[in-house]
Amino acid sequence: MANGIHHVTAIAGPANRNLDFYTRVLGQRFVKKTVNFDDPGTYHFYFGDAAGRPGTIMTFFPWEQAAPGRLGVGETQETVYRVPKASLGFWMHRFVEQGVEHEDLEQRFGETVLPFRDPDGMRLSLVGLEGIEQEEAWTVDGIPAEHALRGFQGVTLLLERIDATAAVLTNVFGFEKLGTQGTVTRYKAPGIDIGGIVDLREAGQFLPARPGAGSVHHVAFRAANDAEQAAMAEKLRKEHGLPSTEQKDRDYFRSVYFRSPGGVLFEIATDEPGFAVDEPADQLGTALKLPKGLEPYRARIEQVLPELA
Ligand code: ZN
């Protein structure tokens, strides 16, 4: 098993600001507009590539009044998107033009990276990669296909100690250790280009995370289907002493969750059935979709959700 990252889920502030940033500023497709199944008075947004393939999906719980989070150990520090290397100049220019907070280019593991923040202060970056120009891309006004984002490279987790989390990555999810630079050790899912990297940063004693707007809530790893997911959960329990939740049906995938040894909440999400299960592929994200059990309450739910511009 070596499937990489399925999605990253984070907490955001106001829904409209979040929607505008990921669709217009970053040019992602609004793949699904639904509600938080566990808190249906709030949205759950999904942004990704044209089809919402695993490894491209960033999801948010936007809360109008969310207090800002504070980064700390036991948390995802950064999510990295892939862009063609020649497009980094385009993006620096776009960030200046759009007032996006960003830093200077830096080198990591021989790659050029442009760190930036979303409007809630969430840490993101673009990594410039050679040879990905021809990969399919979703396009919006102002972002030609040649410059568009091509899914995740991966995430960086900020941990007090990395050993036990590394063991889960390699033993359960099939990642391999690539190398270490400073305090960061890189793991890769062999053969997986989109969402195939997890960097573990060992911080030692550091402030614990305080979740809030701009914080990543969890990172989901891929399982092809229920059987593969069950095998992973079994391995977690038997070989790592890590219990996971019962399976939850998220309509677009089926999930189990567990607290990874370093404190980050992990999910294992199936590739099946995907986002075209309840609306046509060419209309993804255009209508508010509700799980069957909440459909009877649609009118009331629509009344409390913030209106989207
Ligand atoms: Zn999730």
Question: If you measure from the C-alpha of residue 127 to the centroid of ligand 1, how many angstroms do you get, rounded to a whole number?
Answer: 23
Q: How many domains does the chain have?
A: 1
Domain around 257: 5-304
* pLDDT tens column, 39-68: 999 999 999 999 999 999 999 999 999 999
Q: What is the pLDDT of residue 44?
A: 98
Does pLDDT of 29 surpass 70? yes
Chain mean pLDDT for the chain: 96
Q: What is the pLDDT of residue 206?
A: 85
pLDDT band at 245 (very low <50, low <70, confident <90, very high): very high
Question: If you measure from the C-alpha of residue 7 to the centroid of ligand 1, how many angstroms do you get, rounded to a whole number?
Answer: 6
In a domain, 263, yes or no: yes
In a domain, 243, yes or no: yes
Q: What is the mean pLDDT of residues 119-147?
A: 96
Question: 22: Cβ–Cβ under 8 A, 6 or more apart, which residues?
Answer: 28, 30, 45, 47, 58, 60, 118
Cis status of the peptide bond prior to 273, with omega within 30 of 0: yes
* pLDDT tens column, 76-102: 999 999 999 999 999 999 999 999 999
Question: Domain with 103 in it: what CATH number?
Answer: 3.10.180.10
In a domain, 161, yes or no: yes
Question: If you measure from the C-alpha of residue 78 to the centroid of ligand 1, how many angstroms do you get, rounded to a whole number?
Answer: 16
Give the tokens for residue 75: 């948390």
Does pLDDT of 19 surpass 90? yes
pLDDT band at 147 (very low <50, low <70, confident <90, very high): very high
DSSP state of 186: E
Q: What is the pLDDT of residue 309?
A: 85
In the chain, what is the straight-line distance between the N-terminal and C-terminal CA atoms, in Å? 42
Q: What is the mean pLDDT of residues 247-274?
A: 97
Question: If you measure from the C-alpha of residue 10 to the centroid of ligand 1, how many angstroms do you get, rounded to a whole number?
Answer: 9
Question: If you measure from the C-alpha of residue 142 to the centroid of ligand 1, how many angstroms do you get, rounded to a whole number?
Answer: 30
In a domain, 102, yes or no: yes
In a domain, 166, yes or no: yes
In a domain, 31, yes or no: yes
In a domain, 309, yes or no: no
Does pLDDT of 188 surpass 90? yes
In a domain, 91, yes or no: yes
Does pLDDT of 1 surpass 70? no
